[in-house]
Structure 1
């Protein structure tokens, strides 16, 4: 889902100009909806449609609209017909029953730019190229064996973070957990992808790539006028959006080019390492045809896949740990219960190892509840309908953009008792998992477009979360109470805390 809300004022300023141009585009737009029985929704305004119905938090705006119009609503976002699904039943139709009709992605300006023209897994439309890439990455990149091969990286980086927090807290410093979490997962991902850390040895304070990561994440979820008014692409040049997009892309591309060139020089001088990181695997596919892929990878295809790994493994995992710790700071009894379990499992070892995670049943429930109440991507990646079809008796024309609002699904009182309350115990004694088999709980999506890096991301989240609870007793800064904890959200391709989580840490190791 795109970041519509910040440009509402811009749209209002441009309305007179749009009105003139709309005289040409409107007849075609109206003709496309004739003869269809579309889902209900708010009446659209001329030109802008329902864009102004969306606030700075569109997942919340859409939740409220669904409460008024129903679990399947039709919106006109500019010139783009869009259907919002806000229930388990509607999500089941889109992601499971009719998955083959809804498994493509609409092309957006930022998505196309950062995916090198739709060459990756996340933003690519559904086609034979995507199917081959997905088969290859499932076998070679995100397999169980590959996830396990990076165990030592996750444990080492978690240990470095604990040492950094311990040192800073001993010096009387408050802990900016939002910044440190991003640094942790940036280091983990950089080592998995490129085989090296980006922070100084023994440090995990703030990532050197923090600003670049945050800007790219914001732009991936950002608003471009031409995404909703295809004839008005020049407006994005006037607003500076295209310039910002190009600048961030060049910065990201330069980073990838630097790492690729350095690795190629190493391979030329010393040969390939036996301990392959993701870049080694991808570069090998430039010269050898992988049986799961069926074609040689180009440089741009390699970089497009690096985008998915680098940004998918950094921002979403960091916000999950931060939201989880935020909720625990507001629920002391839950915090104590989780800490008691972790400390009992790890004993006197001085750290939590991945072998201990299988004993941490309550912590796993805490993480599930965090993802239910604060999903990293509350609006699942947009789908595009490939052919005319129907859901619940309503027509969904081909080319309609379809979005599942997991915030609405995950807070549906029909499936979740007291859905606004943070209560990990709700996952006790049931089989609800992450794989998309239970459509009331789909933080990673479901069907063909399920997040392929789910297991890799969860492994990092669990080891980080467990060590934070094992190593420290946490408290709010002096003068703050539980009710003072800010729960404001910042919407982008992942939804983070609007303000960083600042805490005090008392070392227990």
Structure 2
């Protein structure tokens, strides 16, 4: 579907075949990003990985993130952190037996704690008060990045954002986020200055013992990528890790538990698989996850129905192209509707139903090769953190079900099966209202 937003042509992709054309056949043409004043203000003029224009700078920034945080080797190095934090979670749940628990907030804090430990060396916002502040920042970020600045499409109306308060909101949130990331960077700089032996900081072969910020500071000092990176670039990369690693993970877990509470038979089947494989272990370990076929099917089905970003990050064509027989001009903004593709009846039987069994004997995966299921995107601009995210989601969900039975919190106005499915507004789609559920001791 071709729309026109003011002076900008906008192509909406809502089928797997058209997505393949954009993200594979003509991936080199559609790998740049549409320039947004909202993202410019919030994400350091798009000097990060997610939003940087396609080119050498973007390639270097992506390489840094993949090699030093998101590679299979690095993800494996973080196994102990994931297991420690999920043990803390299960203990917290057991202490809350028979009492209502805000799973939306719990998942946000947990995802943030794990991300901060592996990327920044320690937790930020781990206590209840700071955890709520963090969730508020993430919520505002998702809402504002889902907002349209009319000046991007009708330049002579750019003054409207000054009048309606959008610029003020953007500047306020950008300042709060920058203060947080400046504190993280400065803390690492001071820690390194206090080291008596600075050679401990400079060994490229020893990056496994350093967190992501230490590595970025080392790259800045040694200028190893051929051009200098400044403090702003470091904070932009931190923002990527912070937002992507926390928000998308917590959103997926939130919707996974929502669907399981709505479908008790599916929850029971998954719970039985987890407990059978875990046996007498007090906690699930990552070696157990590879045996949990139904768990993987449940997560695929959740991502099909509830992709964290229903519209993937906007792309822009850099040259004229032909998509499915239609001529698309250079400078066209491209919106890929992952939500519609995941519910397309041409690709899925009973597309609106939550049926994880559809994946048990299917080779379809979400790693960017099967365009019927693209919650993480595909092609050059596909999310490089798929492995990091999926193993974390599997680990948390398995442990949440291992030692606890769950039932939804009944409340006035609840919809089908006692669960309100109203969604929030924003670039990533959370539940509008927190998911409250009641844990109880398991009944074997």
Q: Fold conserved (TM > 0.5)?
A: yes
| 8 Å CA contact 1:179, 1:205 repeated in 2 | no
In the aligned structure 2, how far is the partner of 1:230 from the partner of 1:313? 34
How far apart in 1 are the matches of 2:155 and 2:99? 50
1:183 aligns with 2:117: no
Q: Which residue of 1 aligns with 2:437?
A: 503
Within 5 Å, give how 1:71-82 maps onto structure 2.
73-82=1-10
Does 2:99 correspond to 1:165? no
Q: What pairs with 1:474-485 in structure 2 (closer than 5 Å)?
A: 474-478=406-410, 483-485=417-419
How far apart are the structure 2 equivalents of 1:478 and 1:309? 36
8 A Cα contact 1:180 1:204, kept in partner = no
| Aligned match for 1:490, one of 389, 408, 424 | 424
Contact 2:307 2:339 in 1 (8 A): yes
Please state if 1:280 is matched with 2:214.
Answer: yes
Q: Shift of the alpha carbon at 1:491?
A: 2.7
Q: Is the 8 A contact 1:369 1:423 kept in 2?
A: yes
Give yes or no for contact 2:108–2:246 (8 Å, CA) kept in 1. Answer: yes
User: Which blocks of at least 5 consecutive residues in structure 2 are unaligned?
Assistant: none
For residues 226 and 481 of structure 1, do their structure 2 counterparts lie closer, same or farther at Cα, with a shift above 3 Å needed?
closer
Name the counterpart of 1:411.
Answer: 343
**Matched-pair contact (CA < 8 Å) for 2:150–2:157:** yes
Cα separation, 2, equivalents of 1:205 and 1:108: 30
> SS state of the match for residue 370, structure 1?
helix
Superposition TM-score, scaled by structure 2 size: 0.93
Once the 2 structures are TM-superposed, how far is the Cα of residue 118 of structure 1 from its aligned partner?
1.9
**Is the deviation greater in 218-227 or in 264-273?**
264-273
Match of 2:84 in 1: 156
Alignment of 1:29-428 (within 5 A): 73-169=1-97, 172-199=98-125, 206-270=131-195, 271=198, 272=200, 275-290=209-224, 293-428=225-360
Instruction: Give the match's secondary structure for 2:28.
Output: helix
Greater relative contact order structure (CA < 8 Å, 6+ sep): 2
Alpha-carbon contact 2:311-2:335 (below 8 Å) kept: yes
Query: How many angstroms apart in 2 are the aligned matches of 1:508 and 1:329?
Result: 15
Deviation at 1:487, TM superposition (A): 1.1
Whether 1:448 and 2:374 are equivalent positions in the alignment is: no
Shift of 1:478: 4.7
Query: Structure 1 stretch 87-96 or stretch 190-199: which is displaced more?
Result: 190-199
Q: Secondary structure at the match of 1:497?
A: coil
What is aligned with 1:68?
none
Q: Can you list the C-alpha shifts for 1:179-219, whole angstroms capped at 9, x where unaligned?
A: 11111111111112211123557x79944412112112222
Structure 1 residue 277 displacement after superposition: 1.2
> Match of 1:44?
none
Q: 1:282 to 1:129 in 2, by over 3 A?
A: same
Deviation, structure 1 residue 150: 1.1
Whole-Å Cα distance in 2 between the matches of residues 295 and 344 of structure 1? 53
Q: Secondary structure at the match of 1:314?
A: helix
* Aligned pairs, number: 432
**Looking at CA atoms only, which structure, 1 or 2, has the larger radius of gyration?**
1
SS at match of 1:99: coil
Aligned partner of residue 399 in structure 1, secondary structure? coil
Q: What secondary structure is seen at the aligned counterpart in 2 of 1:101?
A: coil
Which ranges of structure 1 fall in alignment gaps of 5 or more residues? 1-72
- Distance in 2 between the 1:296 and 1:207 partners? 36
Give 1:65's aligned residue: none
Give the superposition deviation at 1:482: 5.3
- Residues 457-504 of structure 1 show CA distances to partners (whole Å, capped at 9, x for unaligned) of 112111111111112100122577852311111131211111111111
8 Å CA contact 1:182, 1:207 repeated in 2? no
What is the CA-CA distance between 1:362 and the residue it aligns to?
0.5
- The offset of 1:302, in angstroms, is 0.6
8 A Cα contact 2:125 2:134, kept in partner: no
| 1:408–1:318 Cα change, 3 Å | same
Q: Paired residue for 1:57?
A: none
Q: TM-score, normalised by structure 1?
A: 0.82
Aligned 8 A contact 2:252 2:307 in 1: yes
Question: Residues 375-434 of structure 1: CA distance to partner in whole angstroms, max 9, x if unpaired?
Answer: 001111111010112112211111010111111111111211100000111111222122
8 A Cα contact 2:320 2:327, kept in partner? yes
